[in-house]
Amino acid sequence: MVRPSGGANWADDELHELVPDSLLTGEAVALDLRPTSIVLRGAGAAIDFLVYGGAFVLVLVLFFIIAAQARSEDAVYGIVAVLALVGSLIIAPAAVELLSRGKSLGRLAVGSRIVRDDGGAIGLRHALIRSLTGMLEIFGTLGGTALIVGLLSPRSKRLGDLIAGTYSQYERVGKVPPPVFGMPLELAGWATIADVARMPNGLSRRIAQFLAQAPQLDPARRAAQATALARDAAVFVSPVPPVASELFLAGITVVRRGREAEALAGAARRLQTLEPALRGVPHGFPDRG
């Protein structure tokens, strides 16, 4: 059974406790910002390591070939080696992150992006700090320092992220087809008075996944998942009906689906009323069409 709740209003700290990896906006809406796992971060870093490290080696080889033919002085080799190191392993990664707004070839492959702790795009300062520290923790220790720090960080942050105030945000979210069903008969009366607040995206996805997969689950696991999801969803619903947890989740889904459809239909009607003004010719303006 779903335990009753005092209503759909809650404090900001209580909402953040329910969605620990979320960003709370000024309207008390929790944005579901998923950090990239340490495994995916390692895979992306390995790709970037090969790209930037390969570019460094390629620059050195090309210069040494040219310098050998031109019989350059020995001091020139050291200067070019330092410039190639700085350009390939510091300037190039920072420029790529800045211009691509937190992306790189490795992050593009794993579906992640570097963002600020508040979810915004990184700037030049963030990119430079991450590149400078990356020389030590990624290229200097072959990723060992980054791995240790990432395992100890709740958001899998490496040392550069902790200093710069950034983290890796995972952007690939699988689409779950919503199950199509009607309002359970037991909740027909409740649906007319139900107050269902906007839920975090993560919780909505978990409920949709459960309802789509529930027939394939064994009874014990099905009941346990339904109870846990209903307990989390009850905070956003008032009043909470005294029904089985799975029926409660189905009722929430139908109510939200109906209200979202009404909102879309209302927006379409408003656009239709504005269409003559948008497409018409202003008063006194000649029609040249």
d(CA 106, CA 265) in angstroms, rounded, equals: 42
Q: pLDDT 10s digit of each residue in the chain, 289 long?
A: 444 444 444 444 444 444 445 554 444 444 556 889 999 999 999 999 999 989 999 988 888 888 778 777 777 778 888 888 898 889 999 999 999 999 999 999 999 999 998 888 899 999 999 999 988 888 888 888 889 999 998 888 999 999 999 999 998 866 555 555 677 778 888 888 888 888 888 888 888 888 888 888 888 889 999 999 999 988 888 888 888 888 888 888 888 888 777 777 888 888 888 777 666 666 666 665 5
Q: Which two tokens stand for residue 71?
A: 């019989």
113, β-bridge pairs: 169
Name the E strands within the chain: 22-24, 30-32, 112-116, 166-170, 195-196, 237-238
Angle at 283 between CA 277 and CA 286, to 5 degrees: 105
Each domain of the chain, given as residue ranges in start order, spans 12-31+177-279, 38-170
Burial of 288 (0-12, 13-18, 19+ CB in 10 A): exposed
Distance set, CA 84 to CA 53, 78, 93, 154 (Å): 10, 10, 13, 35
Confidence (pLDDT) at 4: 44
